[in-house]
Chains A and B, each alone.
With several copies, the nearest count.
Chain A
C-alpha cells in the first residue's frame, strides 16, 4: 500500500511517500503501526484531531476500513482558495 504525507506531516516524517506492507484493517490500525516504528512517526501522529486522512483519494475517518485500499494519505486540515 502507498502511504502519502503532505505539508507539515511530510516534513515531520521526512518523506512524501512510502510503500508499506501492512495487515492493518483500519486507518487507526495503520496509524498505530506507524507510530510504533520510529519517534518521528510517533510525533507526527501524536494529535489526530490535527490530521485528516484520505483513502484512495477520498476524505474519510480514522476508523475507515483499509480492505482493498491502494493509497492512504495523511495531511493537516486543508487551506486552499
Chain B
C-alpha cells in the first residue's frame, strides 16, 4: 500500500530502511519528512482531514507522479490528530533508477500534497489560544512549477 493516512505515529527510520531495501534495480531513494516546528509558544498541532477523500487524493497524486517520472516505488504516510513539536507529521519516499527522477517526484509529491490533499492544520498555543493555519500563496504558486 503506497498511501497511509493514520492517527498513530509512524517509525520514520524503519520506513526509510524498508523503502530502500531490496532495491537492486533502483539507484536512488529520496525521502522527505515533515516535522511539527515549535514556533513561538506552539503547544500542539492538530491535523484534521477528510476521511475517504484524503486517501483518494493522495493515491491520485502518487499515480500522477508515477505517470510523469520513471519511478520504481512511491510511499506517502500522513498523520492526523493531535501532534506535539518535534513529532513527524508525514513522509514521502520515491525510488528511481536515477537521482533526478527521485528528487523531482518527491518535490512534486510534496507540492501537491500541501495544497491538494484535504488536510487542515490548527495551532494550539501554550496560552490556550488556537488558530487555523492559513494556506500560503507560495504553496499554491509552487504547483505551477509542474
Contact = CB atoms under 8 A, between A and B. Distances in A.
Main secondary structure of the interface of B (DSSP, over half): mixed
Contacts of B114: 78-81
Contacts of A76: 120, 132, 135
Contacts of A80: 49, 78, 90, 113-115, 117-119, 121
B132 A78 contact: no
Contacts of B41: none
B120 A6 contact: yes
Contacts of B113: 80-81
A48 B121 CA distance: 20
B7 interface: no
Contacts of B132: 7-8, 76, 79
Most A-side CB within 10 Å, residue of B89, B119, B140: B119
B60 to A, nearest CB: 9
Nearest to A52: B118
A13 interface: no
Of A58, A75, A81, the most chain B CB neighbours within 10 A belong to: A81
A81 B118 contact: no
A75 B50 contact: yes
A78 B56 contact: no
Interface of B: 34, 48-50, 52-53, 56-57, 78, 89-90, 99, 110, 113-122, 132-135, 139-140
> Top 6 A-B pairs ranked by shortest CB distance?
A80-B119, A77-B135, A57-B53, A7-B120, A81-B114, A80-B117
